Structure 1
Amino acid sequence: MAISYTALLLAGGQARRMGGVDKGLQTLHGQTLAAHVLASLAAQSQPPARCLISANRHLDAYAALGWPVLPDAEPDYPGPLAGIAAGLAALQDDWLLVAPCDAIRLPADLAARLLSAAAGRDAASAADPEHWHPTLLALHRRVAPSLSAWRQGGGRSIRGWLAGLDHQECQFAVPFTNANTLDDLARLAAQQGDCA
């Protein structure tokens, strides 16, 4: 039986490795990175009930993608945990599936596998043979108080917060494609085909 969930696109970072540009609005094959990830989320074997977008600038451009935009409650780019907190606060389902705006090629079974790995737990995140991807994760709504306490205590590390949850890593065989730098973007742009 399919689990109802909401997807959260994280697009509120400073993109330091990209020279400070708004990463989610950089284009690849004629589409913004944010649009690529939203299309990839929509193509899941178990698609989301709805999507939310965490962003801190160019809010109108993100809103034009067709989903509610959640700016951080705090100024100065407080990090992905602030975006996740906003997503949990707006959540209408039991589960939140989180994906960053640079994860442009998501496996079609990402949601189904993460939600299955998270069943009976607080959270599950994706890992591949090369890296752990703590911002590709499924979270149950019950983690909201834990996240609030972690952040109020000065915690900013998503890895540190997940270490205190009943959390499972879910292994994927093929490395995820990320556009973290302008060089990554140029390399991906030189490749043929759609990245969504």
Structure 2
Amino acid sequence: MIFSQDITGLVLAGGRGSRMGGVDKGLQTFQGQPLALHALQRLQPQVGPCMLNANRHLDTYQSFGVPVHADVLPGYAGPLAGFLTGLTYCSTPWLLTVPCDSPCFPLDLAQRMAQAAVHAQATIVLAAGPQAGRDGAVSVRPQPVFALLHRNLLPSLQTFVQEGGSKIDTWTQQHPHALCRFDQASDDAQAFANANTLQELHMLQGQTALD
């Protein structure tokens, strides 16, 4: 069994925000507060300690009240850089990552991911949840930046990125891994909706305001 205190939560807010015009995505407003803060507050009740991964405006992120760590790799190296940073500073057996731009993730995310890890005897669990495609149709898709990772994976990930690896699925397939499906009728179709552009952020804001 994995207890909530065994899991460190990490909000990933270290991207370039290129599809938002280069703005710091985690500081864009959602429901009256920064996206990253909203994600942090949604994650904190589910886990033990929490931290943030950010590469700009570190003083602002530090005001959220948890440790803030910049990428341990240079050049905005993507989600794996966030994973590596989180594992580097993780003090619990497990690390749970969530992106700052999917602010409606399930309130039982950590619990169900932990159950999947135990059931599958996996050291990596990735979420798979309902998400609307461009045509509006909703299907269950892997959400690889929602990841539960065992702390012992740090040396493996260090080696992988040092050898030039950059794809999450290529690395995860090297280890016992599992998908945690969030596809029950009770799951919100917006749970894993992400805001890559300001237009998508405004749409998500409007959709959640109607719920």
Q: Structure 2 length normalisation: TM-score?
A: 0.85
Query: 1: CA distance between counterparts of 2:80 and 2:87?
Result: 10
Indicate the percent of aligned positions where both proteins have the same amino acid. Answer: 44
Question: Which of 179, 183, 192 matches 1:169?
Answer: 179
Q: Contact (CA 8 Å) 1:118, 1:139: kept in 2 or not?
A: no
Please tell me whether residue 7 in structure 1 is matched to residue 9 in structure 2. yes
Q: Contact (CA 8 Å) 1:7, 1:48: kept in 2 or not?
A: yes
In structure 2, relative to structure 1, the CA distance for the partners of 1:160 and 1:38 (3 Å cut) is: same
Structure-2 residue corresponding to 1:122? 123
**Number of residue pairs aligned between Structure 1 and Structure 2:** 192
Give the CA deviation at 1:42: 2.2
Give the CA deviation at 1:5: 0.8
Query: 1: CA distance between counterparts of 2:207 and 2:60?
Result: 26
Structure-2 residue corresponding to 1:23? 25
Please tell me whether residue 146 in structure 1 is matched to residue 156 in structure 2. yes
Structure-1 residue corresponding to 2:69? 70
Residues 182-191 or 165-174, more deviating: 182-191
Please tell me whether residue 182 in structure 1 is matched to residue 198 in structure 2. yes
Give the CA deviation at 1:190: 2.6
Query: Unaligned 5+ residue runs, structure 2?
Result: 130-138
Q: Contact (CA 8 Å) 2:8, 2:49: kept in 1 or not?
A: yes
In structure 2, relative to structure 1, the CA distance for the partners of 1:102 and 1:57 (3 Å cut) is: same
Q: Contact (CA 8 Å) 1:29, 1:194: kept in 2 or not?
A: no
Report the 3-state secondary structure (helix = DSSP H, G, I; strand = E; otherwise coil) of the residue aligned with 2:209: coil
Report the 3-state secondary structure (helix = DSSP H, G, I; strand = E; otherwise coil) of the residue aligned with 1:40: helix
Q: Contact (CA 8 Å) 2:62, 2:68: kept in 1 or not?
A: yes
Q: Contact (CA 8 Å) 2:101, 2:194: kept in 1 or not?
A: yes
Query: 2: CA distance between counterparts of 1:23 and 1:71?
Result: 15
Structure-2 residue corresponding to 1:33? 35
The CA RMSD measured in Å over matched residues stands at 1.7
Q: Contact (CA 8 Å) 2:72, 2:84: kept in 1 or not?
A: no
Structure-2 residue corresponding to 1:90? 89
Query: 2: CA distance between counterparts of 1:22 and 1:72?
Result: 15
Query: 2: CA distance between counterparts of 1:192 and 1:54?
Result: 25
Amino acid paired to 1:127: A
Moved over 6 A (4+): none
Query: 1: CA distance between counterparts of 2:175 and 2:116?
Result: 14
Amino acid paired to 2:195: A
Report the 3-state secondary structure (helix = DSSP H, G, I; strand = E; otherwise coil) of the residue aligned with 2:180: strand
Report the 3-state secondary structure (helix = DSSP H, G, I; strand = E; otherwise coil) of the residue aligned with 1:142: helix
